[in-house]
Amino acid sequence: MSTQVTEQEQETEPEQTSEHQERRLSEKRERADMSERAKSDLSDADETVQIKVFRYDPEVEGKKDPRFDTFEIPFTKGMTVLDALIYARDHFDSTLTFRHSCRQAICGSDALFVNGAQRLGCKTQMVDLEWPVRIEPLPHAEVVKDLVVDMEHFYDQMESVEPYFQTNELPDGDLEEQRQTRENREKVKMSTRCIWCSACMSSCNIAAGDNEYLGPAAINKAYRFAMDKREGEEMKQHRLNIIEQEHGVWRCQTQFSCTEVCPKDIPLTEHIQELKREAVKNNLKFW
């Protein structure tokens, strides 16, 4: 029996080795092709731009120490930061890791720290930045690899405010719509634009020092429903109880950093202050 196993191993090992070598040779040829295409693009380009990209990979020996890699990118009209990163990944280093999806500033997956400010990679034009462009992961979050950060804590904070419509005041008729007035819709309209990118959370000094602080994005989401009159007074009271906690709206110091970096132009600080006023009115007693 042992002889058979040894013979099988002897038969399969060369095949496995050959497959491994072929795969490595294929990857090497692919990298060489990428490099040649990049050289051709650079020589044909009227203008090039340098990007300095943060690199970190805790699973690979020799890459555990954070560093910056510099890539020379052929500049084209309309190029965004995300375009430049994709070019660097596809032509120079296929291990470069970052998140992106819709490329239309809707999914919120490619929030980055670009030239010292939180921005969406797909929305930020290279022509509007100082060159060379420095690209880093969002501050105040654990880096998983390169430009990818762990979003679990941010999602937990968002979920803690119960970000979904709830009501105890349904219309009488089974087929009757639960209508919203135009005025009420206008009031909550801007708050509905949040794309959960975490740029505001990353920019907030309070969130950086207080891990339990709900943060501007979560409070804005609470605002969106607390101000929606279709939910009714009972649910509004419930939502005010959530945001009135010690690590809720009262931790905000009105620095406006969240409002400044929001890619959807949501007046986050204004919404937080309005919820503070609602909380005060809710607790006033006239007896």
Confidence band, pLDDT 50/70/90 cuts, at residue 2: very low
Q: Hey, do 23-145 and 151-283 end up sharing a CATH topology, with the first three levels equal?
A: no
- Is residue 127 pLDDT above 80, yes or no? yes
**How is the chain split into domains, by residue range?**
23-145, 151-283
User: What pLDDT score was predicted for residue 28?
Assistant: 65
User: What pLDDT score was predicted for residue 188?
Assistant: 97
User: What pLDDT score was predicted for residue 3?
Assistant: 46
Cα angle 203, 208, 209 (rounded to 5 degrees) comes to 145
pLDDT digits (tens, 9 = 90+) for 3-13: 454 544 455 55
User: What pLDDT score was predicted for residue 235?
Assistant: 93
Q: What value does the mean pLDDT of the chain take?
A: 89
pTM score, whole prediction: 0.83
The CATH superfamily assigned to 151-283 is Alpha-helical ferredoxin (1.10.1060.10)
Q: Which residues contact 100 (CB under 8 A, 6 or more apart)?
A: 82, 85, 86, 109, 110, 121, 122
| Tokens linked to 202 | 């990353």
User: What pLDDT score was predicted for residue 13?
Assistant: 57
pLDDT digits (tens, 9 = 90+) for 65-117: 999 999 999 999 999 999 999 999 999 999 999 999 999 999 999 999 999 99
Confidence band, pLDDT 50/70/90 cuts, at residue 15: low
Confidence band, pLDDT 50/70/90 cuts, at residue 32: low
Q: Which of 270, 178, 252 is nearest to 214 (CA)?
A: 252
Q: Which residues contact 34 (CB under 8 A, 6 or more apart)?
A: 90, 91, 92, 94
Q: Counting runs of H as helices and runs of E as strands, what totals does the chain give?
A: 10, 7
Is it true that the peptide bond before 263 is cis, omega within 30 degrees of 0? no
Least confident of 65-79, 167-181, 262-276: 167-181
pLDDT digits (tens, 9 = 90+) for 43-61: 676 899 999 999 999 998 8
pLDDT digits (tens, 9 = 90+) for 193-247: 999 999 999 999 999 999 999 999 999 999 999 999 999 999 999 999 999 999 9
CATH number, domain 23-145, options 3.40.630.20, 3.10.20.30, 3.40.50.300, 1.10.3720.10:
3.10.20.30
pLDDT digits (tens, 9 = 90+) for 146-163: 999 999 999 999 999 999
User: What pLDDT score was predicted for residue 282?
Assistant: 82
